[in-house]
Each structure stands twice: as structure tokens, then as C-alpha cells.
Amino acid sequence: MKVMVSICIPTYNGEQFIKETLNSIKSQSYTNFEVVVSDDNSTDNTLEVVRKFAEEVDFPIYIFHHRPKGIGANWNNSIRRANGKYIKFLFQDDLLEPNCLNEMVSIFGFNNEIGLVVSKRKFLVEKSMKTERTNKWIERHADLQAHLHLPSRRINILNRNFFSSPQFYTSPFNKIGEPSVVMFPKSVFEEVGEFDERLEQILDYEYWYRILKKHEIAIIDESLVKFRIHDQQATNVNRNRQILDYLLYPKILYQNYFWLLHPKVQKQLWLTFHPVPRVIRKLKQIFNRYPL
């Protein structure tokens, strides 16, 4: 029998696109799955749409109410509630291709070291976001692995040696993808811990790299997800609120990945965060201000 997959959908005021998202689940060729909806106290008709949809399908849909504590807390809650062997994130505005679950689950059977499977994605750009700024963002982020010099094959494997690659610490820092494009065993979640709820902008790839420290990541060279770009998605809302926790990323690398990084990156981070260079800079400032 096929193993169960938990499709985890963190929701908040997502009525505009949630029905389309759910329909993409109904179209899956893989049939052994459950849907776990963790809702952050939506004030629109999101849950009404989900409940009505649940009455029309023959697969289980569970709805859990969650006291809002940030997006990371909602992600964690959806995973904790999951019963499946594998976790497949799907955000309330994104879509799965019909073969998504089947393709991702099959990869785990090839290699016991794999802790995360990721696919490429296509973009669905809403009319309000069809701007020059969006076009430039898509051009830059269309293929997050484009500059990694990976072999031309359907499946590529990243291991922890990637941290020492010169390409690792280059923009864009997220070389893996958004949550909707990944699948991972729930046992990995139990092993590496929960998403860091203090973060907003970088909590996804901070987590993928945490997994990469212990497991391999398989990259499928096929678009299995459609990623929607609209003005109310979390990234755009967070940008408008000037949530810039991506500035914490270098410090996270310094504290948790230093000895895995390329020597040039190590030097850069050491000069920034180690107390000795900071003391030297402070002394230079003092001597320049009060010369002998």
C-alpha cells in the first residue's frame, strides 16, 4: 500500500484562491493522502469554502483552528497535526500539478539519505502584480538553481558539501524554493526541530539548510507546482511592513554553519561578527578621534 502524505495548508483569509488550490489536490494521481488545514483565525469565508469542498470529496480534510502567532507557528501547527509519513506543504494560493505527489514520493524510495525533495515551479501572476518590478523578480528567481552548475539530468542531489561552494552565499540566498515546492518526511521535522517562529522572510530556506546539514536534498528538474504572485501574499505584505529578518541570515550562518562554509565566506562573516575584529575597529575609531 502507498504511504500516506499529509498535505498541509496553513490558511489566513485565503478565500480568493483556496477553492482552486483544493481542486488541484483533487486532481492528484496519487491517492493516499490527507489534507490538514491550520487556520490562523480567518475573518473571511476561507473555512466555509474548505468545509463545503470537504463534503464533495472522498479524502479526509481536517480543519484546525490556531491562535495567530505568526506564519511560522501556523506552519508548525499544521505539521504537528499531520498523520502522514511525508509532509507536503501547499499554500492557500498555490497549485499542484496532477503528478506532483506521485513524483515526489517516488524519489524517497531511491535514497535513504534524502531528507527533502524539491521541484521547479511555474508562476501565476495576478493582474495587479503584472509590473516591471514583478518581471524583474521572476527573471531573477525563475530557476533558483540556475547558477549552481548542476548536471543536466532529471534528478540532482545536494549534500552538505554545497555549503562550501562559492555559489552558496550568493543572491538569491534561497537556492531551494518556497514551501509549496517541497516534500519531506515528518521524521525529519522531528529530527531537526520546528520552523523558527521568530523569523518571517527567511524561515523557509533557513529550515531547508538545517535539513541539508543532516540529509541530502533531491531536486527534480520539472515544474510540479504553480506559485501564485499576488498583492496579498505573505512576502508582499511582509515587505510592506518592512520585515527585514533576512538581515539576520549572515549571523545565522556564522553561528550555525561557519565551519562548513567556503573560506572566503568564513573570513567575511568572521570580520563581521567575531568580537576581535569588532574591538580592533573600535580601537581604530578611538585613536582616530584622539590621536597621540
Summarize pLDDT for 250-271 with one digit per residue, the tens.
999 999 999 999 999 999 999 9
The x, y and z cell numbers of residue 228, run together, are 501564485
**Which of 103-112, 144-153, 184-193 tops mean pLDDT?**
184-193
Q: What is the dihedral of CA 64, 236, 167, 177, to 10 degrees?
A: 30
Distance, CA of 220 to CA of 76 (rounded, Å): 25
Please give the model's pTM, rounded to 2 decimal places: 0.89
More confident residue, 27 or 142: 27
pLDDT of residue 135 exceeding 90, the answer is: no
Instruction: Specify the 3-state DSSP secondary structure of 148.
Output: coil
pLDDT band per the 50, 70, 90 thresholds, residue 222? very high
**Tens-place pLDDT, residues 74-94:** 999 999 999 999 999 999 999
Residues 5-261, CATH architecture: Alpha-Beta Complex (3.90)
Output the pLDDT for position 237: 46
Q: What is the dihedral of CA 284, 287, 288, 292, to 10 degrees?
A: -150
Residue 48: DSSP 8-state: H
Domain residues of the chain, as ranges?
5-261, 262-292
Output the pLDDT for position 245: 75
pLDDT band per the 50, 70, 90 thresholds, residue 218? very high
